């Protein structure tokens, strides 16, 4: 029987036992997982995980923006930050180069829409630009995930995407880009074929959508 979760509960941090269940399931599926207390711990750990000078792509993420991790990477000067390079490029004339930069960074850092207690990660996207690196193109992927994103199973994860994350992302997209968002692409990662490539930092507090 699928556990029913209503949209308001998608904002509540999961308790410790549910975080532990999700972490154990992810580890069984070859994801590296760490449970951290808060955003400050995540910022420190991300710096530890990324080698100096690495080519790092930060995906569009409220978690990264609110935590300060986006600025740490793109304005800190410690890495070969890819996002500033992409923003400076012509989307038409340099489309092929932009596509290659997006597809295979040394490290891609972002978040997800949901983590299941059965060990899956769910990422929704309007453009799909972050998905190639997440799916396997990046040499190393790192996701920072607030405790409110932990759900029992894939059914609950998809409800979280549609009922909670999409409305909030739609407001953000209209404000930033002037266009609505949509779930045009959906990536479900059920396991990591290459142990050590993918790291999930689960926080005990809520952050992001």
What's the pLDDT score for residue 7? Answer: 52
What's the pLDDT score for residue 9? Answer: 75
Mean pLDDT of 190-202: 97
193 compared with 177, residue with greater pLDDT: 193
CATH 3.40.50.2300 applies to domain 13-203: no
Contact between 173 and 180 under an 8 Å Cβ cutoff? The reply is: yes
How is the chain split into domains, by residue range?
13-203
pLDDT at 152 over 50: yes
Tens of pLDDT, residue by residue over 47-72, are 999 999 999 999 999 999 999 999 99
Mean pLDDT of 155-159: 97
Tens of pLDDT, residue by residue over 98-151, are 999 999 999 999 999 999 999 999 999 999 999 999 999 999 999 999 999 999
* Percentage of residues in the chain having pLDDT higher than 70: 96
Residue 31: C-alpha distances to residues 34, 101, 104 (Å): 10, 24, 19
What's the pLDDT score for residue 2? Answer: 41
pTM value surpassing 0.85: yes
DSSP state of 9: G
Q: What is the mean pLDDT of the chain?
A: 94
SS3 category, 8: helix
Q: How far is Cα 134 from Cα 69, in angstroms, rounded to an integer?
A: 18
pLDDT-based confidence at 43, cuts 50/70/90?
very high
pLDDT at 182 over 90: yes
Contact between 57 and 50 under an 8 Å Cβ cutoff? The reply is: no
- What's the 3-state SS for 90-152? CCCCCHHHHHHHHHCCCEEEECCCEEECCCCEEEEECCCCCHHHHHHHCCEEEEEECHHHEEC
């Amino acid at each position: 029987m699928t556990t029913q979760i209503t949209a308001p509960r998608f904002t509540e941090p999961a308790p410790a036992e549910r975080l532990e269940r999700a972490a154990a399931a992810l580890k069984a599926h070859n994801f590296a997982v760490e449970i951290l207390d808060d955003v400050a711990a995540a910022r420190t750990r991300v710096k530890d995980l990324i080698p100096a000078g690495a080519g790092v792509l930060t995906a569009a993420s409220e978690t990264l923006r609110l935590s300060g991790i986006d600025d740490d990477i793109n304005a800190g000067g410690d890495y070969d930050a890819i996002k500033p390079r992409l923003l400076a490029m012509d989307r038409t004339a340099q489309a092929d180069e932009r596509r290659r930069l997006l597809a295979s960074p040394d490290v891609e850092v972002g978040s997800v829409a949901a983590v299941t207690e059965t060990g899956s990660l769910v990422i929704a996207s309007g453009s799909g630009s972050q998905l190639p690196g997440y799916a396997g193109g990046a040499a190393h992927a790192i996701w920072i995930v607030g405790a409110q994103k932990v759900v029992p199973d894939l059914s609950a994860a998809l409800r979280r995407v549609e009922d909670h994350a999409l409305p909030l992302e739609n407001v953000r997209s209209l404000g930033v880009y002037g266009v609505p968002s949509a779930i045009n692409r959906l990536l479900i990662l059920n396991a990591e074929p290459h142990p050590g490539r993918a790291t999930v930092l689960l926080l005990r507090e809520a952050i992001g959508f």
